[in-house]
Chain A
Amino acid sequence: MNGDKKRTGARALVESLEKADVDMLFGYPGGQALDIFNCLTDAKFPFVLGRHEQGCVHMADGYARSTGKPGVCLVTSGPGATNTITGLATANIDGIPLVVITGQVPLALIGTDAFQEADTTGIARGVSKHCFLVQSADEIPETVAEAFYIATHGKPGPVVIDIPKNCQQGLTDAQYPERVSLRAYHPESAATTAQLHRMAKMVNEAKRPVIYAGGGVIASGAAKDVAALARRAGIPVATTLMGLGSFDERDPLSLRMAGMHGTPAANWAMNEADLIVALGVRFSDRVTGKISKYAPKAKIIHVDCDPAAIGKNVSAALGIVADVKDVLTTVLSRVKQAAHPEWIAKIDGWKSSHPVSWTQMHENVIMPQAVMESIDRATKGRAVVVTDVGQHQMWAAQHFRYSLPRHFLTSGGMGTMGFGIPAAIGAAFARPDHKTVAVCGDGGAQMTFEEVVVAVEHKLPVTFVIINNGCLGMVRQWQELFYGKNYSGSILTVKGRCGNERLEQDLDYDYLPDFVKLAQAHGAEAYRVIDPAKLDATIARAVKSKRTTLVEVIVEPRANVYPMIPAGRPVSEMVFK
Chain B
Amino acid sequence: MDLKEKLVSSFMAFEGQIDVDAPVHEIRSEAIKVFEQKGFPTKKEESWKYTSLNALLKNDYTVFPKEESALQFQDVKKYFLHEIDSYKIVFVDGIYSSYLSETSHEGLDVCLMSAALSKPKYRLIIDNYFNKIAPKDDGLTALNTAFSREGAFINIPKGKVVEKPIQILHFSTGKESALMLQPRNLVVVGENAHVQIIERHQSLTENPVLTNSVTEIHANRNSIVDYYKIQNDAQTASLIDNTYIAQKKHSHASVHTFSLGGNITRNNLNFYHLDERIDSTLKGITIIGDKQHVDHSTLVHHAQPNCESHQDYKGIYADKSTGVFNGKVLVDKIAQKTNAFQQNNNILIDDRAVINTKPQLEIFADDVKCSHGCTIGQLDEEALFYLQSRGIPSKEARALLMYGFANNVLASVKIDEVKKRIKKLIAMKLNVNIGFEL
- A and B found bound together: no
Residues on A lying within 8 angstroms of B by beta carbon are none
Binding site for A on B (CB under 8 A): none
